């Protein structure tokens, strides 16, 4: 029996990864992608967002995607819920979890959703009530938790204020978002330690972007500080249209490789994960950001021998 410490990889590729791709990712291929990710052993998948189709045309097929995916036992399928209207649409879907989001930066929040932080938070209680009545769990993002491209340093008080609301509403897990890759390891460890002390009832997750090449080192710093849930995106897809220069999310393949090399158990079958990465590469017609997909896992890794552990050239 595997006695390694377990960590959870929260896959955001189908939503955060694809949402701002200029080329529409066909609905059938989205469904195929989510099914492949489910088969790889990932236990949490952010499948789509019930946002207005004019705002995010890429996800205009959210209802169809959620209706047609092959849901697997033991896998939590989350959907991003931007507002009450989105919540009402999500309630009709087969989602297991609703995800809230708000930026700790006033400027970024206004550019992202056209509201103040206070106005965003004011809309959450009704969504939480409806989710609870429907038996849906809640997750929350704290966007720009480590820094803002418009304001620079972000107020810790703003982060605490958001966490207080999440805790009060029964949010089970809060993900700290490094939206434009501004975080550094000491900062990550300080913020995680502060929030674990202040909000022990909320499980913390870490969501890093690799804009400055620090995504994986920040992942390690978050682990060292006690985080055991890590958001990542297949192939490193993602970005933010309201954050100039923001690179994609930390690749799932690289995150899984890092964790497994550290002796941690992700529960992910790497060969099956590569099947999902291959589909993304095929549809988008370009190379992906994941180094591990290109060169494979180290030869001393469990199952790391042979060419099957990297994408074919």
Contact indicator for 254, 233 with CB cutoff of 8 Å: no
| Catalytic option among 87, 240, 259, 310 | 240
User: What residues contact 39, with CB distance under 8 A and at least 6 apart?
Assistant: 72, 269, 272
Contact indicator for 164, 125 with CB cutoff of 8 Å: no
- Residue 24, classed as helix, strand or coil, is coil
- Residue 230, classed as helix, strand or coil, is strand
Show the tokens assigned to 75. Answer: 């896998």
For this structure, is 87 an active site residue? no
Distance CA 281, CA 37 (A): 14
Contact indicator for 39, 73 with CB cutoff of 8 Å: no
Show the tokens assigned to 92. Answer: 């009709």
Cα 281 to its chain centre, rounded Å, is 19
Residues β-bridged to residue 100: 140
Q: Rounded to the nearest 10 degrees, how much is the dihedral formed by the CA atoms of 79, 270, 206, 163?
A: 40
DSSP 276-302: HHHHHHHHHTS--S-HHHHH-S-TTST
Angle between helices 156-169 and 124-133 (to 10 degrees): 30
- Residues with catalytic annotation? 240
């Amino acid at each position: 029996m595997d006695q390694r410490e377990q960590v959870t990889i929260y896959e955001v590729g189908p939503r955060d990864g694809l949402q701002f791709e200029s080329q529409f990712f066909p609905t059938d291929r989205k469904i195929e992608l989510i099914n492949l990710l489910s088969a790889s052993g990932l236990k949490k998948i952010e499948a789509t967002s019930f946002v207005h189709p004019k705002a995010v045309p890429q996800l205009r097929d959210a209802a169809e995607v959620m209706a047609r995916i092959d849901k697997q036992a033991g896998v939590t399928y989350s959907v991003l819920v931007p507002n009450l209207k989105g919540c009402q649409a999500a309630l009709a879907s087969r989602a297991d979890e609703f995800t809230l989001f708000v930026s700790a930066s006033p400027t970024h929040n206004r550019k992202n959703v056209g509201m103040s932080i206070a106005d965003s938070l004011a809309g959450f209680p009704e969504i939480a009530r409806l989710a609870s009545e429907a038996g849906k769990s809640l997750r929350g993002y704290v966007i720009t938790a480590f820094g803002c491209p418009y304001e620079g340093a972000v107020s810790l008080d703003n982060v605490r204020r958001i966490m207080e609301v999440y805790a009060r509403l029964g949010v089970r897990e809060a993900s700290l978002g490094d939206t434009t890759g501004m975080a550094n390891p000491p900062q990550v460890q300080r913020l995680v330690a502060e929030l674990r002390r202040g909000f022990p009832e909320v499980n913390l997750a870490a969501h890093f972007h690799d804009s400055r090449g620090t995504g994986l080192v920040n992942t390690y710093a978050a682990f060292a500080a006690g985080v055991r849930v890590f958001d990542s995106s297949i192939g490193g897809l993602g970005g933010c249209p309201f954050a100039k220069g923001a690179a994609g999310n930390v690749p799932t393949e690289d995150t899984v490789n890092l964790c497994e090399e550290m002796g941690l158990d992700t529960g992910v079958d790497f060969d099956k994960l590569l099947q999902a990465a291959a589909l993304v590469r095929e549809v988008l017609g370009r190379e992906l950001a994941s180094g591990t997909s290109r060169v494979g896992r180290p030869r001393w890794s469990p199952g790391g021998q042979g060419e099957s552990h990297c994408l074919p050239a």
